[in-house]
Structure 1
Amino acid sequence: MALQKLPNNRWLLSFRPTGVGGKYVRKRFDTKAEALRYKAMAEAESARGKEWNPAPVDRRVLSELVESWFRFHGQSLKDGEKRKRVLLNLCERLGDPVASQFSARDFTAYRENRLKVVSANTVNHEQAYLRAVFNELIRVEDWQRANPLEKVRAIRLDESELTFLSLDQITALFDELRKSKNPDALVVATICLSTGARWSEAESLRAENVYSNKVMFTNTKNGKNRAIPIDAELYGLLRSRKGRLFGYCYGAFRHAVQRSGIDLPHGQLSHVLRHTFASHFMMNGGNILVLQRVLGHADIKMTMRYAHFSPDHFEDVIRFNPISKWTQSGHITQACSQ
């Protein structure tokens, strides 16, 4: 280090803050004290390293983060294109703010207004999708800040009762399906009621998905294949077909439901056959863990919605409660009648 007083009474500081081999700095100061303070500051900053330096400001807007998310991860998802459209529309409604300035308060203010026109479930999906964008970019180190939605709770939803068809309603529905001009609708409905498949899973079956008295569902919601056994009659019918087994027939199914006079809650038509399978499976004594595998649920909590249909559901409450022996000996009647 060289600190030299110049003829004009200023001071010239010449040194390398990072040591030998580092960048050479020459700087003039009015006083010697200023030069020494600058040298100490520069050496301290150098000793701290790059991680102590402020990160460059990220000027990207939300829609740019969505595009990055799609490039890094979203395009590999089965519903990636759909999520991207939802997210870009969300960014537009938010005004596409600079992402580094977007806060939890901004989203909750948006949510308050959004709930006036859409359901809470829709808003929860939007929140989950946007939170996932930040989480994924943090994971791949493309976002250096915290997730602004990390602590924002989703809106609590009341669990809706799942509608299922009675045996009489199934009979009425199949009578109408037999009258339909689209014969595929009857076969697809039969598959759904035989296997618990979603309509889209059954409708997209191909000949190669039918083998060894089973159907293999590949077009599934979670991307995991499911092989479900079917009876010999249905197997023979499906094996007689080639290529894609069915054309589009959901419209024919919808019209058959309407003609049969079955009244369903809003939004439950597409899954009513799946719910019907699961409900009757449990009512007939089926095992809840088997049902989970048949339906393809990753989380048993989804399947537990059908547990109350089991004929012995909670029967152990009667047998194993602390006063069950009183019940067997008549002590409850005696105690309550005194």
Structure 2
Amino acid sequence: MGVKVKKDGKVTIDYRDNNGKRHRETFFGCKTLGKEVLARRKAEISERKFFPEKQKEHLTFKEAVNKYWDIHASKIKSAPKLKYTLEQLVQYFGEVNKLSSITTEDIQVFYNDKMAATSPSTANRHFTILRAVFNKVIKLKIYKGSNPCVGIVKQKENPARTSYLSELETKELILNAPPRSQLLFAFAVGTGMRRGEILNMDWRHIDWRTGMVHIYESKSGNKREVPIPISLKQTLCGLASKNTGKVFSLTVPMVEHDFKKTLKKCNITGIRFHDLRHTFASHFIMKGGRITELQRMLGHSSTELTNRYAHLSPTYLRQSIRFIDDLIPALDHQEL
């Protein structure tokens, strides 16, 4: 028990009250500050002025967010993206505002503003995280108020888009891409891999004998194998002898910058980088590929997501209508 300081500047003080109950407090600062706060708490305990329930009423929004980050958010796979959302929430609700001062009306205004500026799905994600912050500090018993998110009704989200490029647009996009991103764009269209999967791909993940790339960290958490088109495999073979480590040394901002720049150059609108994955899937089905094979390559855990491409199959309608043939008896040919 006492004062502990971590490398990131986080200070933890540890002490017991008159009833022997152990208390811990965490904040940012230095060891000197930690000793001062600890001395103050011991004095309050000695003078019978220590009321931890009062401290729960003065918990600020940023303190609650920090606690949520330390206990839960920092340990999950989507931590970087979640951290950005939490920073946005702190910016909106303020660092020093007390948690108890945030009302249901404030939450509703925030939700409406976010939905007007972005989309129902984005607003719902921010709201879900905000609600989780309140639930966490209440569950940890470091805040004794209620959750103001109760009573807010989330709006129905828009159906997921399935936009894709035509064959001509695809070739134009790849040929007009900056040199550093050209192969990456081609790889996205040729394999249907997600942007993060491509950027995390290591030369060791490629099996040159089978022509497969092994994906060890996917969105679903499952491993999978994706075949590499022969033309891309030949291009990669020419580079493999010179490189080790990551296949692509680009960052997400660099890829986004090059992608938007190329779209503008090609006068293509309404397309996101993720739509290159849809482009792969759509053309795979239109050229006669099977839904089950596509599901395996995309790494979908169920056919529900993959079936959005089924209508693009040239045999889809023909196969669907064949079940009706049994209802119709053989007819003699008659003139109309």
TM-score by length of 2: 0.65
Task: Return the match for 2:269 from 264, 269, 274.
Answer: 264
Confirm or deny that 1:228 pairs with 2:226: yes
Q: Give the 3 Å change call, closer, same or farther, for CA 118–190 of structure 1 in structure 2.
A: closer
Does the 8 A contact of 1:216 with 1:225 survive in 2? yes
Q: Amino acid of the residue matched to residue 261 of structure 2?
A: H
Alignment correspondent of 2:186: 190
Over 3 Å counting, the alpha-carbon distance change for 1:240 and 1:157 in structure 2 is same
Residue in structure 2 matched with residue 73 of structure 1 by the alignment: 72
CA distance in 1, matches of 2:161, 2:146: 38
Paired residues for 1:303-322 under 5 Å: 303-313=306-316, 318-320=321-323
Hey, what's the Cα distance between the residues in 2 that align with 1:158 and 1:310? 25
Q: Percent identity?
A: 26
Query: 1:189 touches 1:199 (CA, 8 Å); kept in 2?
Result: no
Within 2, Cα distance between the matches of 1:120 and 1:193?
29
- Partners of 1:176 and 1:306 in 2: how far apart? 27
Do the aligned residues in 1 keep the contact of 2:65 with 2:133 (CA within 8 Å)?
A: yes
Write the deviation string for residues 103-134 of structure 1: whole angstroms up to 9, x where unpaired. 54442233224444343333122112223334
Residues 50-199 of structure 1 aligned to structure 2 (within 5 Å): 56=53, 58-59=56-57, 60-95=59-94, 98-99=98-99, 102=102, 104-134=104-134, 148-149=148-149, 152-159=152-159, 161-177=161-177, 180=178, 182=179, 184-199=180-195
Contact conserved, 1:318 with 1:324, CA < 8 A, in 2? no
Distance 1:139 1:294 in 2: 41
What amino acid does structure 1 have at the position aligned with 2:272? L
Q: For 2:277, give the aligned amino acid.
A: R
Shift of 1:281: 1.9
Give the stretch that moved more between structures: 307-316 or 186-195. 307-316
Q: Give the AA of the match of 2:287.
A: N
1:290 shift after superposition: 3.4
Of 272, 276, 289, 1:273 maps to 276
Q: Is the 8 A contact 1:198 1:274 kept in 2?
A: yes
Offset, 1:71? 0.9
User: Match of 2:25?
Assistant: none
Contact 2:191–2:229 at 8 Å: present in 1 too? no
Deviations 1:247-275 (Å, cap 9, x if unpaired)?
A: 336244443333333x221xx33122111
Q: Distance in 2 between matches of 1:312 and 1:136?
A: 51
- Tell which deviates more after alignment, 282-291 or 144-153: 144-153
Cα distance 1:151–1:252, how it changes in 2: closer, same or farther (>3 A)? same
SS of corresponding position for 2:232:
helix
Unaligned runs of 5+ in 1: 1-54, 331-336
State the alpha-carbon separation in 2 of the partners of residues 185 and 130 from structure 1.
37
Alignment of 1:237 with 2:235, yes or no, is: yes
For the residue of structure 1 that corresponds to 2:176, the secondary structure is helix
Q: Give the AA of the match of 2:108.
A: T
Shift of 1:188: 1.4
TM-superposed CA distance for 1:171, in Å, is: 2.7
What is the RMSD computed on CA atoms of the aligned residues? 3.7
CA distance in 2, matches of 1:63, 1:314: 56
CA distance in 1: counterparts of 2:64 and 2:183, whole angstroms: 45
Q: TM-score, normalised by structure 1?
A: 0.64
Equivalence for 2:40: none
**Candidates 198, 205, 227, aligned match of 1:202:** 198
The answer to whether the 8 A contact 1:66-1:84 is kept is no
Give me the whole-angstrom Cα distance separating, in 1, the residues matched to 2:173 and 2:198.
18
- Partners of 1:240 and 1:195 in 2: how far apart? 22
Give secondary structure in 1 for the equivalent of 2:226: strand
The aligned residue for residue 294 of structure 2 is 291
Aligned position for 2:327: 325
Q: CA deviation at 1:203?
A: 3.6
The C-alpha deviation readout for 1:183-235, integer Å capped at 9, x for no partner, is x4232122212210123432442211212421133564455443212245533
C-alpha separation between the residues in 2 aligned to 1:186 and 1:285?
27
User: How far, CA to CA, are the matches of 1:150 and 1:89 in structure 2?
Assistant: 21
